[in-house]
Amino acid sequence: MNRVVLVGNITRDVELQKSANGLSYCHFQIAVPRAFTNEEGKRESDFINVTAWRNLADNVAKFVHKGDKVGIVGKIQVRAYENDAKERKFATEIVADEVEFLVTKKEPKAELQPASKEDEDGLPF
């Protein structure tokens, strides 16, 4: 089983992109505060990379801004790539299945788009 649930704040504005075959996607990062404080009494955060695809990416890009608090449900994905120096590198990220907009600081840029036909009328067919 590969399931992750996180709550954190967006670290920068989200930019929508298109894949080579035309699918919408966006990469963003959330700061997730740790449950404990460090030696100086400060609460540190972990910075987690997240990717969303298709209509979910469209909605995240429209409604989420730097500083907004979001809830993420997804799965951990590790991918390998080669950098410019021809070194093999690994990236760990969360692929979002759901993004819940918890607290926003700005007005939305546009209306929500349904994630699928099922979302439009509430019927699974």
121 lies in a domain? no
Output the domain CATH number for residue 43.
2.40.50.140
As for how many domains the chain has, the answer is 1
What range does the domain containing 86 cover? Answer: 4-109
Residue 97: Cβ-neighbour burial (10 angstroms; 0-12, 13-18, 19+): middle
123 lies in a domain? no
C-beta of residue 50 within 8 angstroms of C-beta of residue 96: yes
Note down pLDDT in tens along the chain; length 125 residues: 999 999 999 999 999 999 999 999 999 999 999 999 999 999 999 999 999 999 999 999 999 999 999 999 999 999 999 999 999 999 999 999 999 999 876 655 555 555 554 555 554 44
* Parallel/antiparallel/unpaired status of strands 24-37 and 69-82: unpaired
Q: How far is CA 14 from CA 37, 98, 119, in A?
A: 29, 16, 23
125 lies in a domain? no
pTM: 0.76
63 lies in a domain? yes
